[in-house]
Structure 1
Amino acid sequence: PDGLLPKEDPGWDPNTSAGLEKVKIYQMLILYGIQNGVEKPKNLTKLYEVKQGEKEAPSAFYERLCEVARKWTDLNPEDESNRMLFNMLFIAQSAPDIRRKLQKVEGADGMMISQLMSIACKVYNNREEVEEKEKRNRARLQVSLQAPI
């Protein structure tokens, strides 16, 4: 190890092939030490800051949640032991209409994410139909209020 990671200037000449090779190995070892020497700090609060946007699809929201987990924690969203945590995060931080539907599902925290995603996508895709229905009901109400008695 002292040959690869010397404590004093080894006098390697990067202008020779042997010296250049030793410098490259030295650089790779330093980078490896920097990247793997210290454990990644866990910042779980970053996970709780991720909320689904009003117009954001459930799949895009979940992918964003997973990206934050990979960046700020050592949690693996695909790991079976983390399923319950990510399901609860997905449910709790989904848009209000999706959250209400998912909270009514029995055993949702133990389901596969694909099952939750399927339910969430149905709610997301039905939003337009619900909005149209509400718009028609408001129009009927307005017409009935304006009609002479």
Structure 2
Amino acid sequence: MRRRVKGKCERANLFPLREIPTAPGIIGYVNVPINTSDVRAFKKEMGKLMDDPLGVSERLDEFLGTSIYSYEDLTAILRSLFNTEEREMIRQAGIREWERRNPQSTPGDQKWPSQDPRWNAQTEEGRRSMIDMRNIIIQGIREAVPRGQNLSKVFGECQGKDETPTEWLERLRKSLQIYSGTDPDSPVGEVLLKTQFVAKSWEDIRKKLEKIEGWQEKGLQELLREAQKVYMRRDEEKQKIQARVLVAAVREAQKQERPQASEKPLRKAPPRGATRPQKGTSGNGWKEWNVSIVKEGTYEKRLSKEDER
């Protein structure tokens, strides 16, 4: 059964094989549907491959149970649970582990082919191939993430606040090579780098990257470009703040240089030796007073010679 979603054809159900009696003493195999909503619900409980590969493999093994799944169904389940790079990691690890355990047997890339081999579920050989592929997948999940003792040092790395995204990514690449022996350009290395680059970036960069829809499917260079944009905006904002602070400081200095409105202007003192008429016995009916200026704008009155006499 299939349904249309956004112009694409998507499987509505998976069909694992179940044994049923078809005639007295004869056992046949038929497809029994599993709703994909069950797979999506399981994904929420499964955990993350990079954090707990052993736990993920055990939970998926239990979820699949004893049913026999066709190549198409196993591929659909993997697409639902893992991104492209994780699936490639699992496949390479599974094939490698199969060939290590079975050096004289069928090559691993035939046990887990890249194209549907059309195995016949009604033959013993076809069912055996389906079971082997299922087991290779579980084993591949267990072995997908390197188990180096120093891998925790890679996972413990965090981006510095002032460290550029380019410097941060380069430091991660070196740590991955030194502490785990993993090639950063391999599918395994790229997934590790991408996961750590996003999860351990500085807070503003991490939030931006995690908001990108399907960031797990994006390339490292694309994520790096987005991180650089956030980092550059941070510098631009810092410069704007500094400019605003400088303008405010200049305005405050100019304000302090202006005279206060409450201050009264100083009164101009009369020139030294000036006299003013006063009512008295002089010829014009006024008595003269000598006025001399003393320090700080105060006045001192002195009697004329006539008054002293």
Q: Same fold (TM over 0.5)?
A: yes
Larger radius of gyration: 2
Matched ranges for 1:115-130 at <5 A: 115-130=222-237
Question: Relative contact order, CA 8 A, sep 6+: which one is greater?
Answer: 1
- Tell me the SS of whatever aligns to 1:105: coil
Pair 1:101–1:134, CA change in 2 (3 A) = farther
- Please report how far the alpha carbon of residue 110 of structure 1 lies from its aligned counterpart in structure 2 after TM superposition: 2.1
Question: Identity across aligned pairs (percent)?
Answer: 32
User: Is 1:94 aligned to residue 239 of structure 2?
Assistant: no
**Distance (whole Å) between structure 2 residues aligned to residue 44 and residue 81 of structure 1:** 13
User: Is 1:45 aligned to residue 152 of structure 2?
Assistant: yes
Larger strand fraction of residues: 2
Aligned residue in 1 for 2:175: 68
- Please report how far the alpha carbon of residue 107 of structure 1 lies from its aligned counterpart in structure 2 after TM superposition: 1.4
- Structure 1 regions of 5+ residues with no counterpart? 1-39, 141-149
- Please report how far the alpha carbon of residue 130 of structure 1 lies from its aligned counterpart in structure 2 after TM superposition: 2.6
TM-score by length of 2: 0.30
Q: Equivalent of 2:162, from 48, 55, 64? A: 55
User: Which consecutive segments of 4 or more residues in structure 1 shift more than 6 A?
Assistant: none
Contact preservation (8 Å) 1:57, 1:124: yes
- Please report how far the alpha carbon of residue 52 of structure 1 lies from its aligned counterpart in structure 2 after TM superposition: 0.7
**Distance (whole Å) between structure 2 residues aligned to residue 41 and residue 88 of structure 1:** 17
Residue type matched to 2:237 in 1? V
**Distance (whole Å) between structure 2 residues aligned to residue 116 and residue 46 of structure 1:** 23
User: RMSD of the TM alignment (CA)?
Assistant: 2.3
Larger helix fraction of residues: 1
**Distance (whole Å) between structure 2 residues aligned to residue 41 and residue 96 of structure 1:** 28
Residue type matched to 1:118 in 2? R
Is the deviation greater in 81-90 or in 64-73? 81-90
Q: Equivalent of 1:109, from 195, 216, 221? A: 216
**Distance (whole Å) between structure 2 residues aligned to residue 106 and residue 50 of structure 1:** 25
Residue type matched to 1:70 in 2? Q
